[in-house]
Structures are given as structure tokens and as C-alpha cells.
Amino acid sequence: MTTIDTIRDDFAFLDEWEERYRYIIELGEALPPFPDEARDAAHKVQGCVSQVWLVTDKGPGPDPVVRFQGDSDAHIVRGLVAIMLALFSGRRASEIVKTDAEALMRSLGLDEHLSPQRANGLRSMVKRMKGDAEAALVQHA
């Protein structure tokens, strides 16, 4: 899977937003297959116009490593899912909670180039991921 640092570097290299959109779509196409049984209401991210599903796997311990799997039925949104997975998945719950996803969106220019619906959906996905990380911390408190 592509790292968040690679995504930042690639975005800096691509000048045109048309190229960046294509890159976002490619990131989504590279996501591993999503389990069909997880395409249900329990895994659906509320607040997204497109269908977005998220599976959270919490490791053991008081500050577990949290891994996410995600998917969407829309190409660009699937790419945004890939960016958020690169940002959050495989990190400790405490790191996820502290991570400023809004700053990442600004640094990539996503805040200016996404439709309001997509930006709100992205925030809903971030809220869900951070909420799952917080829940992982609380379980051991």
C-alpha cells in the first residue's frame, strides 16, 4: 500500500488538478479487495453521499495498532478512502486520535478542489476512523 509520504510527494510532483484526480482514482484502484460481507449497514460510513464502507481491526493492548480496510462505489471517493487509509491504518490508536487530517487535506489542496459533498463525506470518514481509534483506547482505560 502507498504511504502518506509517497502520496504527498506525488501530489507535489503533479501540477495539474486533472492529473491529481487521475492519481487519486489510481490510488483507489490499487486498494485490496474489500470483503463483500462487510458491504452492509454496520460498516457503512454515515454522512457520505457515495457508498463508503469501513472495517476496523484493533490489535491488542492499551494503545493498539488499528488497521482499516475501506471501499466506495465511486472512483474519486475510493481514492480518497485510499488516502485516509494511508494516513491512519497501521498506526497506534493514540496517534490516530492526534492526527490532523484537515491539515493533510489542506496541504494536498483537497479542501479547495473537492465538492462540498465529497469534503463532508471525507470528514465523516475521518470522524469514524478517529472514533474507532478512541474506542480502542477507552476499552483499555
Distances (CA, A) of 42 to 37, 51, 80, 86, 128: 10, 12, 20, 22, 12
48 catalytically annotated: yes
Phi, psi of 41 (to 5 degrees): -60, -35
Write down the catalytic residue from 48, 93, 101, 129.
48
Active site positions, annotated = 48
